[in-house]
A and B are shown apart, each in its own frame.
Chain A
């Protein structure tokens, strides 16, 4: 293979970061994310057991459903007894609760935050709006199906689902994590181009790197 072709392939392996101004591109990483396999069988089983018991959720309210997280955190429903704790930064969180409808402005922030979370990461979609748009199904500025944009592990239907429903959702998520079925992180990487195409279709002012490391 000629050197020119190798350069071409290398170029394809990198992210273009075309949304950024030319002079800013050097400030951001252009490496594509890669899949990371599980540990060996028994160790992975043990770590999955622990992961299910230590869920740190990203305490960003991304819609009206964030209202339901407050009673969940405080005395009445007390999620901390299930090992769930709020975390204020995506770097440390492992569960992203999408609180209901996601406007186009918000989905941009959701994508940024989701990509900054360290894998394995799980998404819990709350409310009917994340499934099919709910009462905003024909709105000009909200998305209809969340899993076109980021991989979702558990949906909780309802408008609004009560904190009990959220706890049921968390329990379902725990079962799935323990069974090793939640691999959204690798799914996102494997279908990276498809997700990016969908995201760029609706986010018109794409002024961020293609992958937020």
Chain B
């Protein structure tokens, strides 16, 4: 296919994912509010916040790395999203999935955080390195069960190509990884709780203890870029999980239904449990999910 058309399709795909991710964020805020017994903000509040932040007249910068921090973060989100096929068999939503595999996507998930760490560090505020230290430590630990689950999936399907993994799960819902390799899915879904940074793993962005954590000095357009990325990155992670474990999607409605339900699991846990301290969350990830991850590899390799 002509590369120009491909880029055009990818742009459509990115816009759809960003809008979807932000709307999902709005719906989730509304759900949290209902749990608290409040009405909650309107569903489109996140869009208004982003426009308002772009519309600020002043934006303080702290140097070149500070500029690059949000850019790296957005590049991480874009990179994660652009190498995942969103809808199986669709031309518009296949992105550049032929050019990269699962390892590249996993690299991009980490890349944004590291870029953000460099950028936020230059802001000079003492709370941002604390937030970054917590964020990176927690990230390293939840990557362990997630990596083990990915290894189990790779052994199961003998490939790291996401499109092939989705193709192998077509036919019946009993072909989904959820039913063929349940331990890997359990390990990965627990690590998704940490990835989405909802409670009990929300210590990284704790507004009370370390005012908002890493992005404490980010303002105006810098913050708006980070918020945009949050929508895109959420959508990318959910689509990745849907592809790996829940049989992918053949049209956009199935994609929306499945990703919403995957996200709902994080929200239910988040609304029910209080927050872990950093060392508690790290210990948690390195204990049960890791053991389940190892079991999943043994299970798929020998049984």
> Do these two chains really belong together in a complex?
yes
Q: Which residues of A does B touch, CB under 8 Å?
A: 36, 38-39, 47, 50-51, 53-54, 56, 74-75, 78, 80-81, 83, 85-89, 91-92, 94, 118-120, 185, 213
A-B contact count (CB 8 A): 84
Q: Could you say which interface size class chain B belongs to?
A: 20 to 34
**Whole-angstrom distance between the Cβ of A112 and the nearest chain B Cβ:** 14
Q: In the complex, which residues of chain A have a beta carbon less than 8 angstroms from the beta carbon of B29?
A: 80
Given contacts A91-B216, A120-B56, A213-B60, whether A47 and B41 have CB atoms under 8 Å apart is no
Given contacts A118-B56, A119-B58, whether A78 and B219 have CB atoms under 8 Å apart is no
Q: In the complex, which residues of chain B have a beta carbon less than 8 angstroms from the beta carbon of A88?
A: 207-208, 211-212, 216
Q: Which residue of B lies closest to A213 (CB)?
A: B60
- Bound CA–CA A45/B37 (angstroms): 34
Q: Is residue B51 contacting chain A, with contact meaning CB distance below 8 A?
A: yes
Q: Is residue B126 contacting chain A, with contact meaning CB distance below 8 A?
A: no
- Bound CA–CA A185/B56 (angstroms): 11
- Bound CA–CA A54/B224 (angstroms): 13
Secondary structure at the A interface, as helix, strand, loop or mixed, is: loop
Interface string of B193-226 (1 = CB under 8 A from A): 0000000000000011001100111111001000
**Whole-angstrom distance between the Cβ of A50 and the nearest chain B Cβ:** 5
28 A-B pairs with CB atoms under 8 Å apart are: A36-B57, A47-B55, A51-B52, A51-B55, A54-B52, A56-B49, A74-B36, A74-B38, A75-B37, A75-B38, A80-B33, A80-B38, A80-B41, A87-B212, A88-B211, A89-B211, A89-B212, A91-B216, A91-B217, A91-B219, A92-B212, A92-B218, A92-B223, A118-B56, A118-B57, A118-B60, A120-B57, A185-B57
Given contacts A83-B45, A120-B57, whether A78 and B212 have CB atoms under 8 Å apart is no
Given contacts A53-B48, A91-B217, A118-B60, whether A81 and B55 have CB atoms under 8 Å apart is no
Task: Assess whether B57 is in contact with A119, with CB atoms less than 8 Å apart.
Answer: yes
Q: For residues 58 through 86 of chain B, which have their beta carbon under 8 Å from a beta carbon of chain A?
A: 58-60
Q: In the complex, which residues of chain A have a beta carbon less than 8 angstroms from the beta carbon of B219?
A: 91-92, 118
Given contacts A50-B48, A75-B36, A92-B223, whether A85 and B58 have CB atoms under 8 Å apart is no
Which of A36, A75, A87, A88 is the most central at the interface, judged by chain B CB atoms within 10 Å of its CB? A88
Q: In the complex, which residues of chain A have a beta carbon less than 8 angstroms from the beta carbon of B58?
A: 36, 118-119, 185
